[in-house]
Structure 1
Amino acid sequence: MAFHVLVGLFGTACYVGAYALLQLRKLRMDTRRYAGLNLLGGVCSLYSLAYDFNLAAVVSQAFWLLFTLVGLRSRNRAQA
């Protein structure tokens, strides 16, 4: 299996893991850990998509990352 595919699968595991932990109430949405898993998942997925391009998936990942960054910024401002 190609390295970029493994990176993409790892990114998917980050997304799914974060969502599962959220649903199982083992992780809260307003934590850096949750945001970090989402950021890592998005970056890994985009890396993989650079090799096997799919426009719909790239747009989806780009928005996922954007919303995660906006959420982190909002969280940081609220704590300041």
Structure 2
Amino acid sequence: MSVPDIIGLAGVVAYLSAYGLLQLGILKAEDLRYAVLNALGALLILYSLIFDFNLASFVTQAAWLVLTPLGYIRSRMKGRTV
């Protein structure tokens, strides 16, 4: 197993940890740690894709990386009056 594979698998662990902790009620979707785990997962998988490119996976991870901070910002803005 190569270093990029190990880094990509660390990204998968970050994703699955975020999802598992959310499902167990330990984290909430509004929690910064949830957003960080999701963004970290996307970044690490994108890194691994530099060495073994897959277009579908790249598009998925890039979208995940863009949508994660947007969702976090939206959740923090919710309930605030302008």
Q: TM-score, normalised by structure 2?
A: 0.89
State the partner residue of 2:28: 28
State the partner residue of 1:18: 18
Unaligned 5+ segments in structure 1 are: none
State the partner residue of 1:41: 41
Following TM superposition, where does structure 1 have runs of at least 4 consecutive aligned residues deviating by more than 3 angstroms?
75-80
Matches within 5 A, 1:41-60: 41-60=41-60
- How much is the aligned-residue C-alpha RMSD, in angstroms? 1.4
Identity %, equivalent residues: 44
Unaligned 5+ segments in structure 2 are: none
Cα displacement string for residues 18-66 of structure 1 (whole angstroms, at most 9, x for unaligned residues): 0011011111110100000001000000000111000000000011111
Q: Which has the larger radius of gyration?
A: 2
Q: TM-score, normalised by structure 1?
A: 0.91
How far off its partner does 1:79 sit?
7.8
